[in-house]
Structure 1
Amino acid sequence: MLNIDEIQKIIPHRPPFLLLDRVDELEPGKKAVGRKCVTMNEPYFVGHFPGKAVMPGVIILEALAQTGALVMLTVEGNAGKLVYFGGMDKVKFKRQVIPGDVLTLEVEIIKSKGNFGVGTAVAKVEDQVAVEAVFTFAIGE
């Protein structure tokens, strides 16, 4: 398990844009399972939506991407690099995420060659899928 301090040693994101609170499982270059505790204190809830707080889908996708970045930046030789989106496919939003939810973020790398790769990503609240997607990524300096 990685705590917030250990996560910040691996990925460059910082509050308020660090969207990964802890990592429960990690296989460098292969997969990770992380968590994001969603609270009403998140800055985007001010406007999304007043009177009905719903976590923006793009923020959930970013939390998944940060989980995937952690998977790739723990591979030997990748420390200190950046992981960029190359694309997103098969994105499906299946459940709203609201304050009080705990997102489980699961990313598995299904193809990797050189500085490029593809990963499957699923965000869940308890046993319900909130978002699923396939990411293409590139590792850069």
Structure 2
Amino acid sequence: MTSMDINEIMAYLPHRYPFLLVDRVIHLEPGKEIIALKNVSMNEPFFAGHFPKHPVMPGVLVLEALAQAAALLSFKTVGNPPDSDAVVYFAGIDGARFKKPVMPGDQLTLHVEILRNLKGIWKYATYAEVDGQRVAEAEMMATLR
């Protein structure tokens, strides 16, 4: 079991403010799974327009947070060194479902499991929870370059 703080996360992911959507990794088992956290603050820039009187985190950004966690898992699985030029690109998203809005003050728990890695295409089962309740889920595919 491995954890990662924000400095190590930033060494692996190319994303930066306002698009870095993983704050901490609390469990990582290379080749298998990752559990990470995203703290959702009213200070997020997207809340200004989504929606001014009823702030809701866009579902596509919940999926992006899951994808960033998946990228960390892939990098750790293949042993990419920190600060390499490797990038993980989305190849597909299947079965995306949004079950509950994510609001300022929520903490997203991001769960990603590797289903397979075949010929450079990774497939993951992902879901996000807030307070133990599932808010989103999807199967994702990506490629590491």
- TM-score clears 0.5: yes
The answer to whether 1:23 aligns with 2:28 is no
Partner of 1:132: 137
Q: TM-score, normalised by structure 1?
A: 0.95
Q: TM-score, normalised by structure 2?
A: 0.93
> 1:77 deviation in Å?
4.7
The answer to whether 1:64 aligns with 2:69 is no
> 1:16 deviation in Å?
1.1
> 1:127 deviation in Å?
1.2
Paired residues for 1:32-43 under 5 Å: 32-43=34-45
Partner of 1:50: 52
Note the residue ranges of structure 2 that are not aligned, 5 or more in a row.
none
Query: SS of the residue aligned with 2:63?
Result: helix
Higher deviation after alignment, 60-69 or 71-80: 71-80
For 1:66 and 1:29, the matched residues in 2 are separated by 16
Partner of 2:78: 76
Higher deviation after alignment, 69-78 or 17-26: 69-78
Aligned residue identity for 1:99:
P
Note the residue ranges of structure 1 that are not aligned, 5 or more in a row.
none
For 1:77 and 1:105, the matched residues in 2 are separated by 21
For 1:98 and 1:45, the matched residues in 2 are separated by 9
Higher deviation after alignment, 32-41 or 70-79: 70-79
Q: Once superposed, which parts of structure 1, at least 4 consecutive aligned residues long, lie more than 3 Å away? A: 76-79
> Matched residues, percent identical?
47
For 1:76 and 1:84, the matched residues in 2 are separated by 15
For 1:26 and 1:40, the matched residues in 2 are separated by 28
Contact 1:11 1:73 in 2 (8 A): no
The root-mean-square deviation of aligned C-alpha atoms, in Å, is 1.0
> 1:130 deviation in Å?
0.4
The answer to whether 1:86 aligns with 2:88 is no
> 1:110 deviation in Å?
0.5
